[in-house]
């Protein structure tokens, strides 16, 4: 049990110019918290995790586990357990040997190892497979063995590097729930890396979004979704992605084609002298408008029917150029391809405004 802190930690790869894979990362993870690091590939999320594991150097700043500075401590002295994307199971050892290896290295008595392995195996439904070698297991079972190897050690922090990305979609959803439940039960501080924002949103107590080695925002899933700190987070979190368009702005509000979105006084103050803003609205905040309502003219290009809902992809002309918009509509009465429909906001409050250049959030 321990809290984790990144204190302006950077990882700089030599080169010309040097690459700051992780740049001045500041992050505090509370004891028992499940924190997800999420970002596109190359965002530095895995590097940040490996820095915490001690597999990657920390070039600037410090890393603390349980209040102790571990910046220059080798991995074995950090009391962490890591689950790798490839699982990294030792191929010549049985499941039981794999799970008990760390304890064996520590010189734990044989009987104690056996008991702990048996206990973890029971928790993960692996008891039947303890004598098998990893190559005789399915992908899902291997994943569980990798989890078991981490659990058996009872470390103060779990590190997980995309542990679900080698599983098929159905198993991934199932295992996702299992891992979250297990973490809840064990109450061990967990840092989890993924590129999948759905995983991030469903598993994490808090989610840290990284891009190009820089922390964009670290907040609860709800907060990330409702109040993204910048246009990148707004576009990255949520599926399908938020509609983000640069639109002209006047005293009446944001000018979309055929639709003027009035802005609150506070928002207008923030916008200040700008003539354009990046305007964001989630697909579910849009609706098909009635004939007498004000709305944007959207030409339907694609309809994705998901059963309960349907997503309409279409183009709207803003300032003369066609822009792609996604609208969530009722799954039973979607518009047809090629049709032109009128689209309006469900609620004028469900919009996001960002600075057109910096991307920073503008609303209060």
Chain residues in the site for other proteins (CB under 8 A): 53-55, 74-76, 80-82, 84-86, 88-92, 101-102, 105-106, 133, 149, 153
Of residues 74 and 320, the one with the C-beta less far from other proteins: 74
Of residues 120 and 312, the one with the C-beta less far from other proteins: 120
CA distances from 66 to 2, 80, 143, 149, 158 (A): 4, 11, 28, 22, 13
Of residues 68 and 92, the one with the C-beta less far from other proteins: 92
- CA torsion sign for 326, 307, 162, 191 is positive
Cβ atoms of residues 81 and 158 within 8 Å? yes
Q: C-beta of 194: minimal distance to other proteins in Å?
A: 17
Using CA atoms, how far apart are residues 222 and 201, in angstroms rounded to an integer?
8
Of residues 186 and 241, the one with the C-beta less far from other proteins: 186
Q: C-beta of 105: minimal distance to other proteins in Å?
A: 5
- CA torsion sign for 119, 124, 126, 130 is negative
Q: What is the CA radius of gyration of the chain?
A: 24
Of residues 153 and 352, the one with the C-beta less far from other proteins: 153
Q: C-beta of 348: minimal distance to other proteins in Å?
A: 51
Eight-state DSSP code of residue 360:
B
Of residues 77 and 187, the one with the C-beta less far from other proteins: 77
Strands in the chain per DSSP E: 4-13, 19-29, 34-38, 60-65, 68-69, 80-83, 157-161, 189-194, 206-211, 214-219, 243-250, 253-256, 259-261, 276-281, 286-288, 296-305, 309-318, 321-330, 340-345, 352-354
Q: C-beta of 72: minimal distance to other proteins in Å?
A: 15
Of residues 110 and 324, the one with the C-beta less far from other proteins: 110
Eight-state DSSP code of residue 181:
H
Q: C-beta of 346: minimal distance to other proteins in Å?
A: 47
Of residues 81 and 117, the one with the C-beta less far from other proteins: 81
Q: DSSP secondary structure string, 186-230?
A: H--EEEEEES-HHHHHHH-SEEEEEETTEEEEEE-HHHHHHS-SB
Structure tokens at 129: 């497979």
Q: C-beta of 107: minimal distance to other proteins in Å?
A: 10
Q: C-beta of 82: minimal distance to other proteins in Å?
A: 5
Eight-state DSSP code of residue 336:
P
Using CA atoms, how far apart are residues 324 and 118, in angstroms rounded to an integer?
55
Of residues 106 and 122, the one with the C-beta less far from other proteins: 106
> How buried is 245 (Cβ within 10 angstroms: 0-12 exposed, 13-18 middle, 19+ buried)?
middle
Of residues 80 and 254, the one with the C-beta less far from other proteins: 80
The phi, psi pair for 149, rounded to 5°, reads -60, -35
SS3 318: strand
Q: C-beta of 260: minimal distance to other proteins in Å?
A: 55
Q: C-beta of 99: minimal distance to other proteins in Å?
A: 10
Using CA atoms, how far apart are residues 230 and 209, in angstroms rounded to an integer?
11
Q: C-beta of 74: minimal distance to other proteins in Å?
A: 8
């Amino acid at each position: 049990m321990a809290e984790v802190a990144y204190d302006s930690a950077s990882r700089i790869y030599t080169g010309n110019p040097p690459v700051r894979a992780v740049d001045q990362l500041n992050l505090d993870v509370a004891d028992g918290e499940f924190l997800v690091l999420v970002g596109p590939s190359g965002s530095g999320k895995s590097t940040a995790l490996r820095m915490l594991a001690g597999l990657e150097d920390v070039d600037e700043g410090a890393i603390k586990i349980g209040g102790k500075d571990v910046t220059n401590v080798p991995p074995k002295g950090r009391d962490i357990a890591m689950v790798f994307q490839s699982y990294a199971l030792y191929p010549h050892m049985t499941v039981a040997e794999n799970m008990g290896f760390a304890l064996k290295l520590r010189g734990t008595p044989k009987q104690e190892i056996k008991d702990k392995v048996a206990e973890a195996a029971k928790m993960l439904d692996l008891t039947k497979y303890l004598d098998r070698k990893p190559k005789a297991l399915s992908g899902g079972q291997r994943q569980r063995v990798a989890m078991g190897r981490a659990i058996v050690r009872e470390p103060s922090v779990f590190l997980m590097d995309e542990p679900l990305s080698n599983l098929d979609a159905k198993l991934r959803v199932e295992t996702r729930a299992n891992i979250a439940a297990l973490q809840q039960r064990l109450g061990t501080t967990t840092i989890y890396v993924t590129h999948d924002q759905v995983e991030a949103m469903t598993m994490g107590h808090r989610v840290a979004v990284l891009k190009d080695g820089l922390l964009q925002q670290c907040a609860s899933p709800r907060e990330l979704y409702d109040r993204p700190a910048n246009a990148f987070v707004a576009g990255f979190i949520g599926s399908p992605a938020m509609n983000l368009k640069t639109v002209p702005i006047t005293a009446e509000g944001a000018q979309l084609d055929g639709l003027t979105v009035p802005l609150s006084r506070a928002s207008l103050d923030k916008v200040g002298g700008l003539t354009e803003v990046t305007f964001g609205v989630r697909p579910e905040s849009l609706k098909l408008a009635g004939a007498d309502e004000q709305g944007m003219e959207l030409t339907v290009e694609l309809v994705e029917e998901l059963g309960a809902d349907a997503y309409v992809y279409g183009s709207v002309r803003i300032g003369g150029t066609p822009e792609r918009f996604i609208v969530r509509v009722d799954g039973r009465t979607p518009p047809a391809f090629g049709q032109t429909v009128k689209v309006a906001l469900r609620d004028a409050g469900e919009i996001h405004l960002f600075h057109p250049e910096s991307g920073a959030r503008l609303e209060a």
